[in-house]
């Protein structure tokens, strides 16, 4: 059974077909890329998959379960997490607390327990601190746990956003242009990080990316969007050698 199956997904805004009849199947454990020129509809697909938008037509299934039209919280609880092209961190909160916010769907205590600092509150907080530190160590961010997130270098802020997404315990991780704004050295390090996340967390990953070095280096399969429609789909090497794909990018 596929991890993600999308069939005939469409959405229109004021008569404009932002995504038109898009379909894709992603198997468990795959590193899959979604590419295309600016304005092709890539982020709109992510917004449909995560419940920010509701599709006009089509069906989205996660691990065989229909999640079409569910809201963002329901979809996150079902097992999808994401990052954003423009980093969205709580920049005035410490690194550790940013990761802990990712656990809010999994660990809870009552308001009374929190106000009175009852044993249940202390138990949950200790668990959250331990689990958050475990994730930070994976990204070599544990030494910055007490630093405000906004004071981290740009590349580490990218890593922290991925770490927070993993704290929601997803099965499918969506990365929206994770290499945006990175220099070549940071991009190379990010590639290793993404591979490690896939292997270490037994994760399925779908990413949007413009950096063709990263796409060619880590993605096993690709879908290419252009003007909201599927232009090409298949193995990475085959897709990147497709004349229509080359033309779409050269004409960007």
Condensed to tens digits (0 to 9), the pLDDT of residues 162-175 reads 999 999 999 999 99
Cα Dmax for the chain: 65
pLDDT at 251: 58
Could you tell me which of 203, 211, 207 has the C-alpha nearest to residue 240?
211
CA angle 161, 240, 180 (to 5 degrees): 25
- Torsion sign, CA atoms 233, 84, 198, 55: negative
- Could you tell me if 203 and 191 are in contact, meaning their C-beta atoms sit under 8 angstroms apart? no
Distance CA(109)–CA(107), nearest Å, equals: 7
Distance CA(99)–CA(128), nearest Å, equals: 9
Over the stretch 124-179, which tens digit does the pLDDT of each residue have?
678 888 899 999 998 999 999 999 999 999 989 999 999 999 999 999 999 999 99
CA distances 93 to 89, 115, 164, 192, 227, Å, are: 9, 20, 13, 27, 39
Residue 109 pLDDT greater than 70, yes or no: no
Distance CA(137)–CA(103), nearest Å, equals: 17
Residue 58 pLDDT greater than 80, yes or no: yes
Residue 106 pLDDT greater than 90, yes or no: no
Mean pLDDT of the chain: 89
Give me the architecture of the 4-79+170-250 domain, per CATH. 3-Layer(aba) Sandwich (3.40)
Query: What are the residue ranges of CATH 3.40.50.300 in the chain?
Result: 4-79+170-250
Q: Which pLDDT band, with edges at 50, 70 and 90, does 213 fall under?
A: confident
**Predicted TM-score (pTM) of this structure:** 0.89
């Amino acid at each position: 059974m596929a991890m993600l199956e999308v069939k005939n997904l469409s959405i229109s805004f004021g008569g404009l077909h932002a995504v038109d009849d898009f379909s894709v199947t992603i198997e468990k454990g795959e590193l899959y890329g979604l590419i295309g020129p600016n304005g092709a509809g890539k982020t709109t697909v992510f917004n449909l998959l995560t419940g920010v938008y509701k599709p006009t037509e089509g069906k989205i299934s996660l691990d065989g379960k229909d999640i079409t039209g569910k809201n963002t919280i329901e979809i996150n609880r079902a097992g999808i997490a994401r990052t954003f092209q423009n980093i969205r961190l709580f920049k005035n909160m410490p690194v550790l607390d940013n990761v802990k916010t990712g656990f809010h769907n999994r660990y809870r205590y009552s308001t009374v327990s929190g106000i009175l600092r009852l044993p249940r509150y202390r138990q949950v907080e200790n668990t959250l601190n331990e689990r958050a530190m475990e994730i930070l160590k994976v990204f070599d961010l544990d030494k910055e746990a007490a630093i405000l997130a906004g004071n981290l270098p740009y590349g580490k802020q990218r890593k922290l956003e991925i770490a927070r997404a993993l704290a929601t315990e997803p099965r499918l991780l969506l990365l929206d242009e994770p290499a945006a704004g990175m220099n070549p050295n940071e991009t190379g390090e990010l590639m290793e990080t993404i591979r490690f996340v896939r292997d270490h967390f037994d994760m399925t990953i779908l990413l949007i990316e413009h950096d063709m070095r990263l796409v060619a280096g880590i993605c096993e399969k690709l879908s290419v969007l252009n003007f909201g429609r599927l232009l090409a789909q298949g193995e990475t090497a085959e897709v990147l050698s497709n004349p229509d794909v080359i033309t779409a990018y050269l004409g960007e």
